[in-house]
Amino acid sequence: MGDLVIENLSKKFKKGDTEFLALEDINLTVRSGEFVTILGPSGCGKTTLLRIIAGLETYSSGTASLDGELITGPGPKRGMVFQEYSLFPWKTVLGNVMFGPLMQGFSKKEAEEKAMSYLNLVGLTEFKNSYPYELSGGMKQRVAIARALANEPEIILMDEPFGALDAQTRNNLQNELLRIWQEEQRTIIFVTHSVDEAVFLSDRIVVLSKRPGKIKKIIEIPIQRPRDRTRPAENAVRNEVLRLLDTNTNCEID
């Protein structure tokens, strides 16, 4: 697995006759196996940047490449987990997780074995025959993570995946995600509005400015895991991030 390299990347959107700049001159390298969080005010381009990396959005200038290959569209090396779960409601938990491997050409038996392996990883084997409407929000998000992992991408892209969950479920899933990340050793790029979440999860935090989104600072977090949200070291990083965000307007912080 290689690095994700973004160089001098900008993105413009057009609404009618008006053009506006969403992202400007983004330069970022994400190393293989790293956990990187993107943080910034609402409308600063966090999700747009994630969608560009996923290949779901084009960029206006600059380059984005993975393993030395330009990103020009969606591909199996990148998996996406959305905030709204986006599961197929007509498929069971097992059917949802099997979908990707089947699309990749695996036999039904191979796809099921692969899906069961990842359902075991997220602790949902006993719910394999359940449908999404029968699951809690946290369980749905576990299925979404298992489905992304079943495609065996190099990078998991996560767009505020825990934003709609209650605080206790969110904290539990943060711990689960770290466990899965350490076991799977995949790269994770994670968008959030939560400073606490970013400090708890990340190797590095990319802080974006208000629109047009530019990288204000990339903060390294040299704190060993497991982390304690109440220790002075974690609080120092949190305060640094908050100071950076305080210079932005329209910033949602929790």
At 135-160, the pLDDT tens digits run 999 999 999 999 999 999 999 999 99
Which tens digit of pLDDT belongs to each residue from 19-40? 989 999 999 999 999 999 999 9
The confidence score (pLDDT) of residue 250 equals: 42
Sheet of strand 78-81, all strands in order from the earlier edge strand to the far edge: 78-81, 155-159, 187-191, 35-39, 204-208, 215-220
Q: State the SS3 of 116-176.
A: HHHHHHCCCHHHCCCCHHHCCHHHHHHHHHHHHHHCCCCEEEEECCCCCCCHHHHHHHHHH
The confidence score (pLDDT) of residue 247 equals: 66
Give the gyration radius of the chain's Cα atoms. Answer: 18
- pTM, to two decimals: 0.92
The confidence score (pLDDT) of residue 248 equals: 53
Two structure tokens written together for 253: 């912080």
Cβ pair 8, 62 in contact under 8 A: yes
One DSSP character per residue, 43-109 reads TSSHHHHHHHHHTSS--SEEEEEETTEE--S--TTEEEE-TT----TTS-HHHHHHHHHHHTT--HH
The confidence score (pLDDT) of residue 224 equals: 94
Q: How far apart are CA 238 and CA 254, in angstroms?
A: 11
Which tens digit of pLDDT belongs to each residue from 32-75? 999 999 999 888 899 999 999 999 999 999 999 999 999 999 99
Which tens digit of pLDDT belongs to each residue from 168-197? 999 999 999 999 999 999 999 999 999 999
Output the average pLDDT for the chain: 92
* Per-residue confidence band for 14, with pLDDT thresholds at 50, 70 and 90: confident
Which tens digit of pLDDT belongs to each residue from 90-130? 999 999 999 999 999 999 999 999 999 999 999 999 999 99
* Per-residue confidence band for 84, with pLDDT thresholds at 50, 70 and 90: confident
The confidence score (pLDDT) of residue 253 equals: 33
